[in-house]
Structure 1
Amino acid sequence: MDLIEPQKNLIHRTINQTCKSTAHLANLLPTGTVLSFQILSPIFTNQGKCDDSVTKLMTLSLLSLCGASCFLLCFTDSFRDKKGNICYGLATFKGLWIIDGSAKLPHELDAKYQLRFIDFMHAIMSILVFSAIALFDHNVVKCLFPSPSHEMREILTALPVGIGVVCSMLFVAFPTHRHGIGFPVSTN
């Protein structure tokens, strides 16, 4: 009986850590940006028929805007004010800048919300994950690489998978403590 209890605790801790890591991963993946991209991609790429420079420019603009969105959303955070309302802000080197200015973050919490090196790493990895998703989009590939060589096709097939695996492992290994826009605020 004594041997079963430590094993049970180890299993429970492992399951708990796995669920927590998965939640962090879901928080960091650019889901809203990807949804917008997938809706707009067929329109902006003319369903992959980029026969003029305007369509290619529109496609590159869409990719740039979505990439910028992934980057910036990594710096958003939220907290509950004294009334219990959720307030959203953008992390800065001095603390959290409240977007709508409706609340004031208590001065003693400024350090908790300051930008850190890990925030920039998450932002870069988020852009990489979005890039991998964009490289899986048939319309974007047909638009930007209308007749790829055999080697380029292999790269376009393998690179997104590699990016996804490496970034997912890094997201799980180095989780964020930010609660960006659209994600639940912790109770502590």
Structure 2
Amino acid sequence: MAIDESETNNDDTLLPKSSTKPAKTPTQHAVRKTFKASAHLANLLPTGSVLTFQVLSPVITRQGKCISLTNQIFTAALLGICAASCFLLCLSDSFRDRGGKVRHGFATLRGIWVIDSPDGGLSPEEAYKYRLRFVDLFHALLAIMVFAGVALFDQNVVKCFCPEPSDETRKMLSKLPIGIAVVCSLLVVVFPSKRHGIGFPLSRR
């Protein structure tokens, strides 16, 4: 017995087709927000500045002994340079030019100042989109605070400037970095930044 092809075609058209993506559950949405916030937090503190500080700190402080005033001056200079580096790198940004190459620059009030391209690689209108904003300065200040917390955790720096701390000072030095980390983490999650600083991977805007 022959099968009518028109009937089989009609049956196929009656089958439901899932053309739309399934809606995300509240748990999946929360997990996505958590990972996105963690990415913003990871971009807050430049790893290069922290690594430089951790490598040079034992050498300059002589394992925390700071024999002379010169060691304390050099240690303070190291802290200042690393803190300034954290501040400036938070104001840096990266983008792809018309040729697909990654360009780097610093945000200014008039736009982005490209440091590795003679013509800038962007039109004035496009460069103005990368202008300096208040949230950039806010993140730069948070980066300095986080770096200060890292420095307070470094026993070489603590022993250099405070060889014999009191019990109250020890308690404060143990709790203050944790408080700084918690507060800055919450602020970064509430006020995220879209900057892709020098050394950080690019993502779609």
Shorter-chain TM-score tier: over 0.9
The equivalences for 1:158-177 within 5 A come to 158-177=175-194
Whichever of the two has the greater Rg, that structure is 2
Q: Aligned equivalents of 1:19 and 1:146: distance in 2?
A: 41
The equivalences for 1:103-122 within 5 A come to 103-122=120-139
Match of 2:99 among 66, 71, 83: 83
Match of 1:15 among 31, 39, 49: 31
Aligned to 2:50: 34
Q: Aligned equivalents of 1:76 and 1:55: distance in 2?
A: 32
TM-score by length of 2: 0.85
TM-score by length of 1: 0.93
Aligned to 1:96: 112
Q: CA deviation at 1:107?
A: 2.1
After TM superposition, the structure 1 stretch with the greater mean CA deviation from structure 2, 24-33 or 80-89, is 24-33
Q: Aligned equivalents of 2:114 and 2:196: distance in 1?
A: 14
Unaligned 5+ runs, structure 2: 1-21
Q: What is the number of residues matched between the two proteins? A: 183
Q: Which amino acid aligns with 2:63?
A: Q
Q: Aligned equivalents of 2:46 and 2:116: distance in 1?
A: 23
Q: Which amino acid aligns with 1:136?
A: F
Task: Kindly provide the CA deviation profile for residues 120-177 of structure 1, in whole angstroms up to 9, marking residues without a partner as x.
Answer: 1101110000000000001000101111111111111111111111001111111101
Q: Aligned equivalents of 1:107 and 1:52: distance in 2?
A: 53
Structure with the higher helix share, 1 or 2:
1
Query: Do 2:98 and 2:121's aligned partners in 1 also have CA atoms closer than 8 Å?
Result: no
Q: Aligned equivalents of 2:201 and 2:46: distance in 1?
A: 16
Instruction: Give the match's secondary structure for 1:47.
Output: coil
The equivalences for 1:147-158 within 5 A come to 147-158=164-175
Q: Which has the higher contact order (CA 8 A, sep 6+)?
A: 1
Q: CA deviation at 1:27?
A: 1.0
Q: Which amino acid aligns with 2:83?
A: G
Q: Does 1:65 align with 2:77?
A: no
Query: Do 1:128 and 1:163's aligned partners in 2 also have CA atoms closer than 8 Å?
Result: yes
Q: Aligned equivalents of 1:111 and 1:16: distance in 2?
A: 30
Unaligned 5+ runs, structure 1: none
Percentage of matched positions with identical amino acids = 53
After TM superposition, the structure 1 stretch with the greater mean CA deviation from structure 2, 96-105 or 114-123, is 96-105
Match of 1:123 among 114, 136, 140: 140
Q: Aligned equivalents of 1:52 and 1:32: distance in 2?
A: 28
